[in-house]
Amino acid sequence: MVKGLVDQCLAGYNGCVLAYGQTASGKTFTMEGSKPTPLHPPPSDPESRGIMLRVAADVVDHIQQTTAAEEEEQSEEITQFSVKATYLEIYQETLKDLLCDSDSQADLRIRIDPDSLSGRELYVQGLTEREVITLEDYVRVAHVGTRRRTVGETDMNNVSSRSHAVLTLTIEQITRRRGGTSPDDISSRKRSKLHLVDLAGSERANSTGATGTRLKEGSSINQSLLTLGNVISALSAPPSGRPAHVSYRDSKLTYLLSDSLGGNALTVMIACVSPASSCYDETLGTLRFAERAKKVKLRATVNVDLQSLRISTLEAEIAQLRQQLESSSSSSLVRRSTRDAHTSTRMPVSSACDAACSSAESQPRKSRWARFTTFFTGIAGRGRRAAATIHVAEQ
């Protein structure tokens, strides 16, 4: 299912994979995979990889295959890929850069990017970006992030994540004429984002035995998960007369992921549950949450950079008009046709722009409605060996 999502992201859609569930249900294990041992050091052992490295392997394979196919066919157009990774954690409502080498970090800010394709895409100011090309680059990013992420010991999990972690891949694809270097040679530019999110798990203080800092962390985790629940409830509520208020801004997590939760993205939620009878209430809560999340409707659009298409269309039109002017002034015989050409040159700039823009906009922009996709994984109590997939829900 996640592989399908990666294919969509490589086609230009935004994507998000979200691991949700109570503490010690296996979210981090699902996203990061088993810890490397001398016998099984990732990435050579694909079986021990988590979602993050499986996604990375799919992206690397796709890029290599596309480039090789274009080389073999000597196609007229070639695609240039660039993938950048950022990794952050939200610890007690503070955003921290996991790829930044400096120890003293300020709380990072979430800002709106007016230059983005939608004009209101969110980004985190000052976040370190790493270019990732080979699988080893991704492994390095994942390991640095994992090492720096805040983890603590509780009675439920001795490697309990105390923060939400978001690994984001920004995939840019530029299709241009082979050998061409000018902006005119670019025929399309796509930019998609894929968020891979390992949430901290909900927890009860009397089960985790948390006190002091752990207790404070636990209540901050529960508070942000409560906001996530409210956001999903508002988004999944049946449509009434007035649009329901969605409280994205009540937590950094929901604000940062607002597009993935209720906007332009395809989202897969992995609901991790524990089959232990002592976890009955939390398991039921997770399944109910997943059921609600499945009702959320998202409108995903291929992120084609219309602005650059507009610019190339306008440039081509200006060149054509110049040519018409030159040819009309050089020959009196074509005076009549000059008048025609003149009529078109006298077209107000704004209408020329509008015409070009509407022609750019009329380019097919693939978009699709999608629902949240959820599937469930469970683990066989504490000290267990392997994950069992309980149920795979339809898309």
27 belongs to an annotated ligand binding site? yes
The span from the CA of 338 to the CA of 329, in Å, is 7
Q: Which is nearer to Mg ion, 333 or 386 (CB)?
A: 386
The span from the CA of 321 to the CA of 25, in Å, is 65
In this chain, which of 160, 173, 260, 328 binds ligand ATP, going by CB under 6 A?
160
Give the rounded distance of the alpha carbon of 250 from its chain centre. Answer: 21
Shortest reach from residue 156's CB to Mg ion, in Å? 11
Interaction with ligand ATP in 227-266: which residues (CB under 6 A)? none
Q: Which stretch binds Mg ion (CB under 5 A): 27-35, 114-122, 253-261, 267-275?
A: 27-35
DSSP-H helix ranges across the chain: 2-10, 27-32, 51-73, 135-148, 205-208, 212-236, 252-256, 258-262, 280-293, 306-330, 335-345, 349-361
Q: Which is nearer to ligand ATP, 12 or 201 (CB)?
A: 201
Residue 29 contact among ligand ATP, Mg ion, none, beta carbon within 5 to 8 Å by kind: ligand ATP
* C-alpha torsion sign, points 139, 126, 160, 280: negative
Give the rounded distance of the alpha carbon of 284 from its chain centre. Answer: 28
Q: Is the peptide bond before 43 cis (omega within 30 degrees of 0)?
A: yes
387 lines the binding site for ligand ATP (CB under 6 A): yes
Q: Which stretch binds ligand ATP (CB under 6 A): 16-24, 51-59, 178-186, 294-302?
A: 16-24
331 belongs to an annotated ligand binding site? no
Contact pattern from residue 263 through residue 282 relative to ligand ATP, giving x for each residue in contact according to CB under 6 A and a dash for the rest: ---------x----------
Q: Which is nearer to ligand ATP, 29 or 375 (CB)?
A: 29
Q: Give the number of other CB atoms < 10 A from CB of residue 229.
A: 18
End-to-end CA distance of the chain: 9
In this chain, which of 8, 157, 324, 373 binds ligand ATP, going by CB under 6 A?
157
Residue 303 contact among ligand ATP, Mg ion, none, beta carbon within 5 to 8 Å by kind: none
> In the chain, count of helices (H) and strands (E)?
12, 15
C-alpha distances (whole Å) from 9 to each of 127, 274, 365 are: 22, 31, 15
Burial (CB count <10 Å: 0-12, 13-18, 19+), residue 31 = buried
21 belongs to an annotated ligand binding site? yes
In this chain, which of 26, 218, 229, 262 binds ligand ATP, going by CB under 6 A?
26
375 lines the binding site for ligand ATP (CB under 6 A): no
381 belongs to an annotated ligand binding site? no
In this chain, which of 115, 206, 386, 394 binds ligand ATP, going by CB under 6 A?
386
161 lines the binding site for ligand ATP (CB under 6 A): yes
Q: Which is nearer to ligand ATP, 263 or 378 (CB)?
A: 378
Shortest reach from residue 206's CB to ligand ATP, in Å? 16
161 lines the binding site for Mg ion (CB under 5 A): yes
What are the tokens at 65?
């295959």
Q: Give the number of other CB atoms < 10 A from CB of residue 48.
A: 17
Q: Which stretch binds ligand ATP (CB under 6 A): 27-35, 120-128, 171-179, 235-243?
A: 27-35
28 lines the binding site for Mg ion (CB under 5 A): yes
Helix (H, G, I), strand (E, B) or coil at 310: helix
Sort strands 77-91 and 164-177 into parallel, antiparallel or unpaired.
antiparallel
Residues 6+ positions from 103 with CB-CB distance below 8 Å:
none
28 belongs to an annotated ligand binding site? yes
68 belongs to an annotated ligand binding site? no
In this chain, which of 14, 25, 283, 328 binds ligand ATP, going by CB under 6 A?
25
Residue 1 contact among Mg ion, ligand ATP, none, beta carbon within 5 to 8 Å by kind: none
Helix (H, G, I), strand (E, B) or coil at 209: coil
Instruction: Indicate the annotated binding residues for ATP.
Output: 21-28
Instruction: Indicate the annotated binding residues.
Output: 21-28
Contact residues for ligand ATP (CB under 6 A)? 21, 23-29, 157, 159-161, 200-201, 272, 379, 384-387
